[in-house]
Amino acid sequence: MRLNINNVIGELGVKRLSIFSIEDFSRFFKINPHKASIFVSRNAKPERGNFIRLKNGLYTFKGSNPSPLEIANIMYRPSYISLEVALSYYNMMPEAVYSITSITAKLSKKYEILGQAYEYHKIMKGLYFGYKTIKTGDKYIVIATREKALLDYLYFVAIGKKKYNDRFDFKNLDKKNFDDYSGRFFRNIKNKNIKKNLGLLLKRVKL
């Protein structure tokens, strides 16, 4: 099958496949992975600029403009948007956010893609919960609930990885969910000092 770049970009746009791997491309256009790799690599060269390499093996195409939140979900899996970005998304904190912050059960990672910083913070598997899929525009992203975004943030303050911000707006938090999630944190955290620190932080959250 001979591919025409204009038709390819048109098809990717119609199918809303704004971020894709070589495997995705091969499967979508029904060509073998070797040919897919050659076609994508050739069109990702600066002089052509039809495709944009996000990281090794992952691309977007000219004019697609995937959102930073969409990129964050796909760049490192499994992961979900949380911490400062989720708190800002829910209008729970007033400060501007520069890095796209996510939670993962894998190793922590940092990327810079198209001038945007992405941070993935590792959390133990027992604390990897409390996220949902929401629609933003015509895309879907995986993001922490309000309550889990706050607890993730407090947890990283408790372990000394972040500084506490006392300028939160808690008015739309669901107290029952927050209490249920807090209970799961305490059941899964074994370190006594972390438990103590988290407990003290929770007392500052008056719901």
Instruction: Specify the CATH number for the domain of residue 51.
Output: 1.10.10
d(CA 87, CA 18) in angstroms, rounded, equals: 26
* pLDDT value at residue 171: 87
Judgement on whether residues 56 and 78 belong to the same structural domain of the protein: no
* pLDDT value at residue 15: 84
- Residue 188 pLDDT > 80, yes or no? yes
**Tokens encoding 139:** 């895309």
Q: Distance of alpha carbon 110 from its chain centroid, rounded?
A: 12
Domain hosting 53: range is: 5-61
- Residue 79 pLDDT > 90, yes or no? yes
Judgement on whether residues 125 and 198 belong to the same structural domain of the protein: yes
* pLDDT value at residue 207: 63
Judgement on whether residues 16 and 114 belong to the same structural domain of the protein: no
**Mean pLDDT to the nearest integer, 166-195:** 94
- Cα distances (angstroms) measured from residue 78 to each of 107, 131, 133: 11, 12, 13
pTM: 0.91
User: Between these two residues, 204 and 61, which has the higher pLDDT value?
Assistant: 61
* pLDDT value at residue 62: 87
Judgement on whether residues 116 and 27 belong to the same structural domain of the protein: no
Looking at 42, 61, 80, the residue that finishes a domain is: 61
Lowest-confidence segment of 73-77, 154-158, 203-207 by average pLDDT: 203-207
Cβ atoms within 10 Å of 155's Cβ, excluding its own: 23
- Residue 31 pLDDT > 70, yes or no? yes
Q: How many domains does the chain have?
A: 2
Partners of 61 in the beta sheet? 51
Q: What is the mean pLDDT of the chain?
A: 93
Nearest Cα neighbor of 6 from 59, 66, 70, 50 is 50
Judgement on whether residues 19 and 45 belong to the same structural domain of the protein: yes
Judgement on whether residues 75 and 145 belong to the same structural domain of the protein: yes
